[in-house]
Structure 1
């Protein structure tokens, strides 16, 4: 189940499948919708009886109430993505009803019991009162709700479109780092697209509501004037009698039309003005308004003060003030009790752990650990909606698929010796990386497309060391709109974990893991395993080969191909370096696919021919002495190579490319050993490891002097 589904964010099809009755009920909904649309058109043309008008008016009011309730109970705007189209149909339905009731009012001086009841009971038979109430409803709808929700929809549509690139990049980053699966990434991309379409449609749909309000005023004026003319000239009524009869019917018609219109406008305002939430709006309102008991105490005190003011009604203010004070007191007490309970549980857990600790427990070293400061504990606390544990599970699955390595469980513990916002990643008890995070903030990265600066706390992105900002929730939307890539804290830590795992996978692979992988392969391909082990190589020797591959981020998922290659060449040599080079040639499709760009080209650095020749001569001399992949150059030459290479690598990283250098096959191993101490992140490939159809695009040449051709593609 994806993260969105676990939070209840299901699409319409999934919700229908979850309720067989609802699924069955909506099987022919498309036919019903088509008939309803045609019926609305016919409503404007064909006269209908008063009984049918009463039924349609009741349907109009009930439908508006259903829409209002759905808008109150939904979690996010996309849960009601059909609302813009529904708004158009309901607006057309109300206008059709207005035409039908106008025809009956002017033709028969009667329009059904509902309109008559609204005209007599609701406004007490006084058409002046009715006109005032009608105008108030129209003004509330037209000037307040509709105008405000229309502006919100307009701004939301613009900001949503502006934020789409940043959101898409964040989804791609999460998927590439193994935080989410491809299916969930596709669902998130679809939600982003639908969200933009929805707010764009809502921007236009708001005009329907405003037009409906204007049409209601015009229709009411026409009905009154037309009724006076028909009553006086055709029905021989007195002016007063005609005004009383037709005005009451018209006002009743206007009220039964404007009340559903007001409800629909309110629903539109609620939909466009709320953000995504994990609870219904009612609970969210209550929770946020009662979140601060001190504010409730102050408001209760003011209400009780008004109750004591001479001339003020004592009873209402006293009841409201007392109730508000009691709710605030209970909220405050409940919060204190929960804090005390958590402290007690923490003390008991610490005491129990101390009693159960054994000296032998301290001798065990965890393969991988994550230590966090106490401020970061909510990341792993499910009761506080922390999802780091779920993300780590996804990371382990993703790395198993990509690298062919089963990542051991990652032990997470809090460390009071760390700063509250710091975390440390350890492998076999040794610190490998550390970083800082701020809860309640987001990490904003400028990919070079930001149009303006935003306020935040300057920092370094922990994985790649890029300049970044910690921004608060209020600044998040603005940062996305101006072009920043905004990442939540959990994703920042998960990305750092992924990179640490990739760069240190060879340290995590144990001999026991290798034996398990071999046994699993033996069940499907026993021939290759029995041919190699133990006749030609031991498990330990295979372990060293796999470690060397992982150290250069080469996947070992195709273990069958690796063992077959070892079986072919192990009889000729037992040198691990030589065997690794043979395996890399065999894995050329995997290596090519891993490092080529989306356009099918490999963007990489190349070596100046003079450097190639110098390294080749030195490597061959070492090979004759029985040392494969070793170069012996003067320090001045090595430093010149480092200086030229470092500059080009920095330029590649700044342009968003992975630093890669391509060499001739004879010096690949030697150049890798030469650069590894200074540039461990540099990928060194040889032309022999690449498929013949791959085009290598040189973005710079490493020379003993200044780098040549530094421009990056």
Structure 2
């Protein structure tokens, strides 16, 4: 049964795809092949039906792009009408002398019933329809289409930049940004097509006039010369059929012109055109003056009182109903929401899914108050954008809220619900940081900088110039909080990265390297394994900016390693150049601290012996290593000098875990992670003496 259903689905899809080519072929046949009057009647009724359907769709869409196929529909509807005109012209000129029903009953009805059989009246009616269609509706719609197309194309760069800005700020996911870019492109294509489609409508109206003239002149000539009719008899027969033919074509043309005008003059709205107009003109303030003016007109002498006064009463009744409805809506909006029952507990009270949180005491609310410029929010957005670029994934939104349990000037930063930082700032003061090279001291509230632990002092804004002259670095309270948040986010990058972020990185990579992603996941590595590898890299300060190269390293390493720990080390060795370039520029040597050969051998032996242990190094030895590396690292860090501790691949992970809690800014590399051509300067040896610069291959040896 499933195979039968599949075959049926394929057949239906193929049949739908063949409708348009077959319809186009029939249009061509209508122009070149003689058709009987019955088929003409069917064609004219179909034309009117299609025009009405298009008009109804145009009136009910909420925005123009909801009917994006309208330009193409307009083209084929115009071609259908012109094909019918050609076919009816052939029938009128060949068989017009046979009577009023020679060209079908539809043309006869339009020629006899609608204009009373008087072709002079028909000419005037047709002329009025042409003026309305060509001069008013078509010309206006064409002008609106032209201006809309121009403005839409001019606005495209700005819209694209806005989408990129929202994407960089984390307000949009890559999928949402892609959809919005497609919508902007579709909007430009639509209005450009409508600018051209409006020319179809105008050309169709002009063609209607020319076809009428041809039918009248041709009928008079053929009637008098070929069929021996008098000029009056020929005019009565042929002109009546020609006008009926013109009217039966111009009615659907007028409907399509109205549809085109309605589409191009629409403004995006959540409701259809009827709802939009009703909501905007249904105002009591508009209809009350209307009722008053009509009442005054109805009381003037000589006016048709029995017509104007009921109209005034109707307008007054409408205004009263609208005012009543507006008061009811305002009362409903003003009603306070019912307070929840004390026994009711919501999920939002027991869970918090924010990855990053910033809680402020009530004294710091001014830092996020939009009326005061919200300086802290602007800095948080800038931090997220900058860190997203540096780390290679979008940093999640920071949920900022007040907490009455905090001291007025206190703030608290949490990651995944765990508080990782808190301090106090004074929103009306400035923080002066001791740069270590002060000319003079300044009085104020002595504190420690929450980010770097530097000596600092809170001062009044009036003392800014004095503090700068004394050698202090002066920052505002919003910058203090934002800098603290920046440091915490950098430290907790691995905790902010999960499987959702991993999937987004893979989806973005799949667009440019589909085979790489196909050979990486789900085999040999599952999504959870890739996420764990990425978190391990982020935990040791390795960004994911060049995710393609990292993914290639993962796919390559996964062929040789199954153990998760060894897999991480294998990946690090393959992206060693990426790791090293985050430490020093390309042309500068990498400053390293190495271990004495005896100590290196001791570490390797400890790791091999306690392979399953989290910390395999003996506590006493571990303490001496931390102390020795700390004595070497302290002066280097105070100088702002970047360096790395280099050890063997076997001991690298254990040594990195040992040093991370004490010196998180000191990376630990293995010899195999340093590119062979990279110059290395050994600044110290734990248990030995400082050496001169040498190549990485020499250090490894």
TM-score when scaled to structure 2? 0.55
Q: 1:430 deviation in Å?
A: 7.5
Over the residues paired in the alignment, what is the CA RMSD in angstroms? 5.9
Whether 1:203 aligns to 2:187 is no
Q: Is the 8 A contact 1:61 1:260 kept in 2?
A: yes
Measured at CA, do residues 343 and 200 of structure 1 come closer, stay the same or move farther in structure 2, by a change above 3 Å? closer
| Structure 1 residues 329-340: aligned runs within 5 Å | 329-340=320-331
Q: d(CA) in 1 for partners of 2:638 and 2:293?
A: 85
Measured at CA, do residues 407 and 230 of structure 1 come closer, stay the same or move farther in structure 2, by a change above 3 Å? closer
Task: Identify the residue that residue 209 of structure 2 maps to in structure 1.
Answer: 217
Q: Is the 8 A contact 1:622 1:628 kept in 2?
A: no
Whether 1:51 aligns to 2:35 is no
Q: 1:175 deviation in Å?
A: 3.0
Whether 1:302 aligns to 2:290 is no
Moved more, 156-165 or 323-332: 323-332
Measured at CA, do residues 57 and 546 of structure 1 come closer, stay the same or move farther in structure 2, by a change above 3 Å? closer
Q: d(CA) in 1 for partners of 2:492 and 2:214?
A: 82
Measured at CA, do residues 112 and 553 of structure 1 come closer, stay the same or move farther in structure 2, by a change above 3 Å? closer
Q: d(CA) in 1 for partners of 2:133 and 2:278?
A: 26
Q: d(CA) in 2 for partners of 1:280 and 1:305?
A: 36
Q: d(CA) in 1 for partners of 2:123 and 2:369?
A: 61
Task: Identify the residue that residue 75 of structure 1 maps to in structure 2.
Answer: 62
Q: d(CA) in 2 for partners of 1:367 and 1:263?
A: 58
Q: d(CA) in 2 for partners of 1:430 and 1:264?
A: 68
Whether 1:242 aligns to 2:241 is no
Q: 1:622 deviation in Å?
A: 11
Corresponding residue to 1:349 among 327, 333, 339: 339
Measured at CA, do residues 65 and 368 of structure 1 come closer, stay the same or move farther in structure 2, by a change above 3 Å? same
| Structure 1 residues 389-400: aligned runs within 5 Å | none
Task: Identify the residue that residue 311 of structure 1 maps to in structure 2.
Answer: 302
Q: Is the 8 A contact 1:565 1:586 kept in 2?
A: no
Task: Identify the residue that residue 489 of structure 1 maps to in structure 2.
Answer: none
Q: d(CA) in 2 for partners of 1:169 and 1:685?
A: 38
Task: Identify the residue that residue 665 of structure 1 maps to in structure 2.
Answer: 643
Whether 1:175 aligns to 2:167 is yes
Q: Is the 8 A contact 1:664 1:686 kept in 2?
A: no
Q: d(CA) in 2 for partners of 1:414 and 1:341?
A: 31
Q: Is the 8 A contact 2:573 2:673 kept in 1?
A: no
Q: Deviations over 1:556-614 (max 9, x none)?
A: x99x99xx99989xxxxxxxxxxxxx99x949959959x99xxxxx9x9969989999x
Q: Is the 8 A contact 2:63 2:269 kept in 1?
A: yes
Task: Identify the residue that residue 507 of structure 2 maps to in structure 1.
Answer: none
Q: d(CA) in 2 for partners of 1:27 and 1:693?
A: 61
Bigger radius of gyration among the two:
2
Q: d(CA) in 2 for partners of 1:64 and 1:500?
A: 65
Q: Is the 8 A contact 1:505 1:551 kept in 2?
A: no
TM-score when scaled to structure 1? 0.54
| Structure 1 residues 4-43: aligned runs within 5 Å | 28-43=15-30
Q: d(CA) in 1 for partners of 2:203 and 2:272?
A: 31
Q: d(CA) in 2 for partners of 1:319 and 1:22?
A: 60
The secondary structure found in structure 1 opposite 2:35 is coil
Q: Deviations over 1:397-434 (max 9, x none)?
A: x99xx88999799476899xxxxxxxx99867879999
Corresponding residue to 1:293 among 284, 288, 298: 284
Measured at CA, do residues 146 and 39 of structure 1 come closer, stay the same or move farther in structure 2, by a change above 3 Å? same
Q: Deviations over 1:350-408 (max 9, x none)?
A: 9x78999xxx99xxx9944597999999xxxxxxxxxxxxxx9xx9xx99xx8899979
Moved more, 81-90 or 248-257: 81-90
Tell me: higher relative CO, structure 1 or 2? Use CA pairs within 8 A at least 6 residues apart.
1
| Structure 1 residues 590-609: aligned runs within 5 Å | 592=578
Unaligned runs of 5+ in 2: 1-7, 97-101, 372-380, 405-410, 428-480, 499-526, 593-626, 647-664, 679-701
Q: 1:217 deviation in Å?
A: 0.6
Unaligned runs of 5+ in 1: 1-20, 378-391, 416-423, 435-496, 515-522, 530-541, 569-581, 597-601, 614-620, 639-662, 669-682, 696-713
Q: Is the 8 A contact 2:395 2:496 kept in 1?
A: no
Q: Deviations over 1:431-454 (max 9, x none)?
A: 9999xxxxxxxxxxxxxxxxxxxx
Q: Is the 8 A contact 1:405 1:509 kept in 2?
A: no
| Structure 1 residues 35-434: aligned runs within 5 Å | 35-109=22-96, 110-290=102-282, 292-346=283-337, 348-349=338-339, 367-368=357-358, 410=399
